[in-house]
Amino acid sequence: MEKDNYDSIRDFLEHKVQNCRILVLGDVMLDQYFYGTVTRISPEAPVPINLIKRQENKLGGCANVAHNLARLGCRVYLSGVIADDYHGQILKEQLKELQIDTAGLIYGREKTTTKARILGGHQQMIRLDFEESDFISKETSHQLYTYVETALKQGLDGIILSDYKKGVITPELSQKVITLAHDFQVPVFVDPKGSDWEKYRNADYITPNIKELGDAAGFSVNNEDKDVCRACHSLQEKFEIKTILSTRSEKGMSLVEKNQVSHITTVAKDVFDVSGAGDTVIACFSAGVAGGLSTLDAAAMSNLAAGIGVGKVGTYAVSNEEIFEKLNDN
């Protein structure tokens, strides 16, 4: 990247990001981490005994996208479905502390989606999932749509559909939100899941990783420039998607637009945990584009932020200040 590109990102982070209004719609989750030590085997069964020393609750799923946006300095609105339970209450309290608007959170589940990770030292031993993944009811879907409509009327700069395939981003709701956003001339950014991209048709921007790219294209995609571009162009034409930003692990990212392709080299030095990296990418990219950065500068900022996030253990939201520091390093 040229110095001018970094100057544009600095200017955005310092003067413009605070005015970005982004709504995140998708699968809200709570990530729990139980940290302990293992020194012996249970006399009851041949399993290790983990003596838990501390516990952390973190925002997960699309709530982590919202967290990343808030740490950048955006004005953030979160919409999704939770339960009126203990885990749902933890989520709402953490979101409130970050000044994320939670008026779009609907009680429509019997349990709040929660992923509990048990770690011995820095090694994850087991993960316990508490979730419902069936499609939300039509009534709940209508409530979400009504909230999105109200938010658009009040003013938004972008909408993110954060799909974790837990039943919130239904084909009908997704298409209705994309159409509605375009009526208000607001871009839609998608973090996809699964092979069926029909529900993302006409989205402006989509950010698959290399596996998701292959799943949607219907063939295995080698992590090479030519193969990634072929898959992206095929999907753009098939689903009428304007731009694809594909994350490619150690090979960085590829920004594939209608008449231009840019490959961005990774800046990550140490990789401890890739969980949540996709959330960081979609948050930074959407904020940048919605805030007036070029797609290339927004992708470069996302790449810098992802390089920071994967160097942390567990789900991590990268701050405005950390990206500034990374810019100076580069």
Distance CA 141, CA 131 (A): 18
Contact 22, 157 (CB under 8 A): yes
Three-state DSSP state, 213: helix
Distance CA 128, CA 22 (A): 31
Contact 289, 280 (CB under 8 A): no
Distance CA 117, CA 244 (A): 32
Contacts of 35 (CB under 8 A, 6+ apart): 52, 53, 54, 55, 56, 119
- Shortest CA distance to 283 belongs to which of 161, 101, 173? 161
The residue behind tokens 């063939």 is 219
**DSSP label at residue 104:** E
CA 146 and chain centroid, separation: 23
Does the annotation mark 4 as catalytic? no
The DSSP bridge partners found for residue 121 are: none
Contact 194, 165 (CB under 8 A): yes
Three-state DSSP state, 252: coil
Active-site choice (157, 191, 215, 279): 279
- Sheet containing 123-130: give its strands across: 48-61, 28-41, 114-120, 123-130
The DSSP line for 121-145 is TTEEEEEEEE---SPPPHHHHHHHH
Three-state DSSP state, 322: helix
Q: At what angle do helices 62-72 and 277-290 cross, to 10 degrees?
A: 50
Which tokens is 167 given? 């039943």
Catalytic residues: 279
